[in-house]
Chain A
Amino acid sequence: MNRISPSKPVVWTGYNFAYLDEQTKRMVRRALLKALAIPGYQVAFGGREMPLAYGWGTGAIQVTASIIGPRDRLKVIDQGSDDATNAASIRRFFRSVTGVETTASALDATIVQTRHRIPETPLRENQVLVYQVPSPEPLRKIEPRESETRKMHAYAEYGPMLLTLYEDIARYGRVASAYNCPVIVNERYLASPSPIPKFDNPKLSHSPAIQLFGAGREKRIYAIPPYTSVRSLDFEDFPFEPSRPDGRCSLCGSETSYLEEVIMDDVGGRMFVCSDTDYCRRRREGKGEGPVRAARAKA
């Protein structure tokens, strides 16, 4: 099941192509161009009310709506899964307001809207990855005032962020958070990678694809252009380590993909499966990356 929408989609009438009006799209488009020109800098934009609640991807939906065209193929994932509620409803929304083809395949997609994961399949040039960002300001927990965080970004005053990492290490012996680990983009701006697991952080750097970030509640857009250095914040003696649960996927046998724990019963039974359902499916169909049969034989 590669195509999620084999039948011709029902396109709603009475809406502009991709829901947003043209004035809004132009405003978002100008913000996107400046965001790409200043990697990691959060561009304020006039975020609109969208037909779903904040926290469900309203910022990324506005970004996707401003870039999508009839020839695009859209993939939407939520924690790596194409069929979670959030992903399925966003995909259906775009089918209804654009009529574009949707897909589960990271290879076929031209635009991938994602909540909290980067696909395992390496992306290629001119693919666009649109992140749903709940909280774009990495400094907000340290400094609640926007006027101050703006100055901190203006003068690259990122000492307090390093201090919180240091406090983690002093208290727990390691950086305690497993996701949303802040990054320095193009050796200048501190940015939130959105809550992706730190396993995914290395994929942000020097990707051939275009990475766009949309935060609807905070009304911010930022971007990481292709082939741009993205460094996870760390210390020389405590280098950044992308973590991954030990073990292999119970379905496809992958020993390198990011795993999710699934509770099987009420007596402690559990299994680990790939969080990226498309990657896992392709491996099980024998089309994926890596030696699936050998891995299975071992399992």
Chain B
Amino acid sequence: MGKWTRRAFITTGVLAGGAVIFGIAIRPGNRAAKLAGLVAGDDETLLNVWLKISPDNTVTAIVPHAEMGQGTHTTLAMMLADELDADWNDVRMTEAPAHEEYANYALAKGYLLEDPEFPGFLVDTVDGFFLLATKWAKLQITGGSSAVPYTGMLAMRVAGASARAMLLQAAADQWDKPVESLIAERGMVREIDGGLSATFAELAPRAAGVPAPSNPPLKTQEEFRIMGTSVPRLDIPAKTDGTAIFGIDAVVPGMKYATIRQAPVFGNAVKSVDESSIENMPGVRKVVTLDGAVAVVADGYWQAKQALDKLAIEFEKSDNDTREQSDIYEHFAEVLDAAKTNGEEEIDFASGDADAALAGAARRIDAEYRVPYLAHSPMEPLNCTAWLHDGRCEIWTGSQNPLGFAAEVAGALEIELEAVTVHNQFLGGGFGRRAFPDYAVQAALIAAEVPYPVKLIWSREEDTRHDFYRQATISRFSAGLDSDSKPVAWLNQFVDKHEPVEATRIPYAIDNQKIHYATSRTHVPWGYWRSVDHSLHGFFTESFIDELAHAAAQDPYEYRRDLLTDQPRFRDVLDLAAGKANWGAQLPENFGRGIGLQKSFGSYVAQVVEVEITDGKPVVRRVICAIDPGFAMHPDGLIAQMESGIIFGLTAALYGEISIHRGAVAQSNFHDYRMLRMNESPAIETHIINGGGKVGGGGEPGTPAIAPALVNAIYDATGYRIRELPISNHKLGPGGLESKDVA
């Protein structure tokens, strides 16, 4: 098969799946027959793949996304339950089994609708990394802030509404009454002007035989009863008493424990292992050599870890062994220079004639920015329990992509996809890392060597050193200002483009733009990291526009605002954040205030940071966040995601740095890859605009604007412009730069 274009890729899936693609959630029982055994008991009726109704009238929403703290299980269940007119007290949630029928049909539909907001990088996931996932239907991804805008809006709501219509029709048939004379509310269907009533459960068997409406009417916002409220999250109680089961907590009778060491330099192979070095160590069962890694299996994790630390392993050498971080940045500069010299720039976006406008501008401003590699560092170290038996493989893990994991494990073991069962558990953090199945494949290959189940647990050091990293990059800017200090040319050249495509775009009215990039070659693995390309380009573009404002001697908020012609939603969040922050009011000495603005995953976000400089260090005192997601399905959940995204972004801006030394990652654990802690956590206030229009995501949009808002605030306080992250590499003084110490 040649390189798929996105359209052909999706279309193939549509053809392979027949009408399924437009069927999304509208699945009469007979189409879901082969799923019945997976999710329904003998006495339950599977109305369609997205919900089931039990004899006790509980409605179970079957949510095709993993819960990693973003509240998706609750929010998606709400969207379905509201359209169904279920009683929320009787609504339960279960995560869909890893099964092709549950693949992200809704994502594909979003794309087929030619939705410009569709997170295209989800397509690249299949195109690039998951080479074995050769059918689009093997996608079951939690990422790209896609759950609410796609699965929720296009599938869960439609599923709920169609099931409701089927239940109403079933009641009408049973009672021989016109359907218009009936109403559904709180888990019941009843006559509007009569005494007949029945529970959903009583009607469900008949309803399963009613033809599903293909296009049931959805509620208007005024009709919502559950959507838009902040119902308590379903997963929280179990997360306060130790009963929530994460992947690492899975218990399979008879299991042993394994831990692993991978070649410190990415891509190097194992040369030799001297097992005599751990002879007679207690509890050790087996040493397993994999591609570029060695694992020790023992009776307990601690025994495995002790033995692995003692085990004499030699890895092969490669040209990468001498690679330093400075070499990588030099390489970036070279590819940028070469692309420019050779005219081999890859155009990302162009409008007008940027070169001519720059040449003719009254003033020219240039700047170069850098960001380092970043690791995800979810609190739960990577782990997977695997058990091979009876020609099958069962795995217990936390995955953002259980179907992709199943496909990868099946490929590695050379068994059929159907012979792999994924028991997906709560994820102790994901942020993109748990979309990559490397640890599940390792667990399966280790388990294939022993006659018992094996729980593979990575150490934190392996987690830090063998991630798929947010890219390091260089981004160069040139802008031309006219005699009124308005920008007339915007040129941006950077290294390596991933997704989403629009991450580099600015909302500002600048007629002549040229955004282009060059592609690097490094041995450091790349991965989706919360907000993906927005995490870097948000920092670059919102820092540089701030530089233009200061060059123009104008207020950075007003300068942005004036350039947001025909961008009312951007303008509204900017105004709201600035207003709530009391923008322009006098701040105490050594304080600064900065603003950042970025739309990502369909949601518009503006953030204002107040920073204090003490002892040469920035202390973030307060963050004011304004978000317009179109409509907040679960306002408190959205606020929690803004807090989360902001603290995630602040950690990266202040401390985040993965660097390469002798070809390997230099950092190892939380002492040298620092996380923001309670004493550094600012007061955060979030203000929501339900701006209407398409509903955007929540998990990622809180992150991109915070780094520029912070460096802009530091500039305001000190006059020192930080163009390289992390900020902790810079020593600041109240009067500006005191010294700079970049590794």
Q: Do A and B bind each other?
A: no
